[in-house]
Amino acid sequence: MDLDTSSLEILLEIHMAESKGRLLSISAACVCGGLAPSTGLRHVTGLEKAGLIDRVRDRADRRRSWLMVRPEIRVRLLAAFNTPVPGQLGAVV
């Protein structure tokens, strides 16, 4: 699957937030990606349809949804970040 830059940025922002124990809302993901809300929502919807992320309703505020990277995608992201880059020492961080 090919992701455009904005979709990839959103996916990585969600992943980074989760790695710090935080959840990211749709509006926060749009802000992180520097996108207008409607454009960001379109990218979030595309990521969801592609099976890369899930939306989870906020129990305290049903108007808000949290974004989460699907577990199998998280494993693939972590593997990609830990794959050595040819010609460089260490792993990609």
Q: What is the pLDDT of residues 69-93, one digit of tens each?
A: 999 999 999 888 886 656 555 544 4
pTM over 0.85: no
pLDDT given for residue 83 in this prediction: 65
Domains of the chain from N-terminus onward? 5-81 (1.10.10.10)
Pairwise CA distance, residues 32 & 9, whole Å:
8
Burial class, 15, CB count within 10 angstroms (exposed 0-12 / middle 13-18 / buried 19+): buried
HSE value, Cβ hemisphere, 13 Å, CA-based, for 45 = 6
pLDDT tens profile 47-68: 999 999 999 999 999 889 999 9
pLDDT for the residue 93? 41
